[in-house]
Every structure is written in structure tokens, then in C-alpha cells.
A and B are shown apart, each in its own frame.
Chain A
Amino acid sequence: MTSYWPFWATAPALAALTVGYWILLRRPLGVSGVLARFSRVREELEVDRGFEAMEADPAALEAAMAAMTAEAFGMAPEEEPSSMEGPALPTAPSSMFEAATAPGSAPVDSPVFEEPRGRACASTPALGEHAVFLVALVAGGLLAALLRGTFGVTAGMGQGFARLVANGPAGLAALAGGGVLVGFGTALCGGCTAGHGLTGCGRLMPGSLLSTIVFFGAAVGVSFLLAGLA
């Protein structure tokens, strides 16, 4: 039997990664949404192009926004001084990513924002960046397996799986079928163990708390079913 980390090593590691991911990237940690993008590559590339066009020239973006604001609300855009009073603000964000990560990025003098707000979410990474993330997950697994000396090319999922689910080709079919449930289910509920379980629950988000309880419950139920049917 392979020896895995005790819970008191895993817990802080996962927590640090969850919080660290947000602090460093201004993105909530999650895998299901990232993987799902690759089931519709063409559409996602189009979305990437859209974001890229918006972020390419911040001065042009600002001008375009000012024009659209004037058109929509019928008032002349205010002439903003290049430096504003109060907390330091980026005058022209070099990307939406950096704009969103500017600390305290709320104009102090506006009546709408009465309290300082924290950092906002960064814009969606490009598909290529997300591909890097997914490959990195694979690499992490490889690294760990090599370290433990358990790396080995195999088609199965271990003795438990072979005994309680299926062997050989039927096993592969079960994995694919399980995968379909995972892919469909995570898309439907909007997250996976990382997105809902770690990030969402860590922020006490109602959707995540409910999702986590339900998917754990379902996993428990099906597992007992599999054990009982064996």
C-alpha cells in the first residue's frame, strides 16, 4: 500500500494553494471550468480574441468607454485629471488584469463607493494559459509519483476499482461514464471539489456549501452502493 500524506499535511497545503491562488492571480481556484473550456475550443478562442481586443490598447479602451458613456447617458464625459486625489489609482490600466488588481481601486470622491473595497477578479486567462495550468497539474502528479516511486503506466485504477466497479474494457467504459457524470455535473452546479469545496466553502458561498454537501452525499451513496453490489 502506498503511504500518503497525513491529514495535517494535506489540509494546510490545500488551504495555502486555495488562498494563494487568489492572492497571486486574482482568480478563484477551480479546475472544472478550465477543463470545460477545452470542450468548445473554437468558441473559447473567439472569447479570448474579444478580451484581447479590449485589453490591447488601454488608451483606446478608455476613449471608447467615454464615447459610449456619453452616447448612452447623454452627458459629456468629465475631463479626468491625470492624477486623482486620494489613494493612488492607475490612470490607464495596461490591462484589465492589472486594473482589477490595483489596490483600493474605487474612486474616493464618488458617492457610490462609501467604503474601501478589496481587489476584484482578474480577467479570464487566455486558453493557452489555461492549457499550461492543466498540463502543470499532470506534471505535478508525475513529480509526486516519481518521488514516491509509484510511477507506472497502467490501464487500471487499482484493486478496489477492479473489484467493485469493473475490469479491463468495461473498466474503461465505467471511467468514461463516470467522467461524463463529472463533466456534466460540474458544469451544471458550477464547480468541482476545488472550485466549490475549497474556494467556495472557504468564502462561505451558499451555492458552494450546498453543492459540496450534495456532491459528497452523492459520492457516499454511490460508494456504499458499489460496495454493496460487489
Chain B
Amino acid sequence: MTCSHITSCPLFPLFTLKASLSVWQVHYCNGQFETCERLKLAKAGARVPPNLLPNGKSLDPALLKR
């Protein structure tokens, strides 16, 4: 089973870009997607922050700013 949101999630293409990131996809999208924090928020009707990772941590904006 795969997560029903796989084709619309903006993180999914990111995970498939490098082999080292595929672990996210294996663990969540194609694996235990019910534990994905993005999916949980979406199912609760809440807005999902663009930088939220499946494990609930956020991609640190400070690291991303020049």
C-alpha cells in the first residue's frame, strides 16, 4: 500500500531525487504512511506547512536562508 497523497505531496519528488533520501519514501510513503505527520494533519483538515517532514520535524528555515 502507498500513501494516497503520494502524487500530490510536494516532498515526494524531493525524496526521489537522491538515493540517500529514498529512505523517507521507503519508511513513510511506501511504508508506514499512517504515521506521517503531513498525512495526519491533512486528514484532520488542518493546513500542512510546506516544510514539515513526515516525522514531525520541520526543515529548518534558518538553514535554508542565505
A and B touch in their complex, CB below 8 angstroms: yes
Which chain A residues have a beta carbon within 8 Å of chain B's beta carbons?
Answer: 43, 47, 50-51, 53-54, 56-57, 60-69, 71-73, 75, 77-78, 80, 89-90, 93, 96, 99-100, 105-107, 109-110, 112-113, 117, 120-121, 123-124
**Nearest CB in chain A: distance from B54 CB, A:** 9
CB within 8 Å of A: which B18-66 residues:
18-27, 30, 47, 49-51, 53, 55, 57, 59-61, 63-66
Docked complex Cα distance between A107 and B22 (Å):
9
B22 touches A112 (CB 8 A): yes
Docked complex Cα distance between A51 and B19 (Å):
23
Docked complex Cα distance between A100 and B15 (Å):
11
A61 touches B59 (CB 8 A): yes
A78 touches B23 (CB 8 A): no
B51 touches A50 (CB 8 A): yes
**Nearest CB in chain B: distance from A97 CB, A:** 10
B66 touches A64 (CB 8 A): no
User: Given A61-B64, A66-B20, do A96 and B51 touch, yes or no (CB 8 Å)?
Assistant: no
Chain A residue nearest in CB terms to B63: A64
Docked complex Cα distance between A72 and B58 (Å):
12
A64: chain B residues at CB < 8 Å are 59-60, 63-64
A-B contact pairs, 22 of them (CB 8 A): A53-B50, A54-B51, A54-B64, A56-B64, A57-B66, A60-B65, A60-B66, A61-B59, A64-B59, A64-B60, A64-B63, A65-B59, A66-B20, A71-B57, A78-B20, A93-B17, A99-B13, A105-B17, A107-B17, A110-B19, A120-B7, A121-B8
Task: Supply 14 further A-B pairs (C-beta < 8 A) apart from A54-B51, A56-B66, A64-B60.
Answer: A50-B51, A53-B50, A54-B64, A56-B65, A63-B63, A68-B53, A73-B23, A89-B17, A99-B17, A105-B16, A106-B16, A107-B19, A113-B16, A121-B7
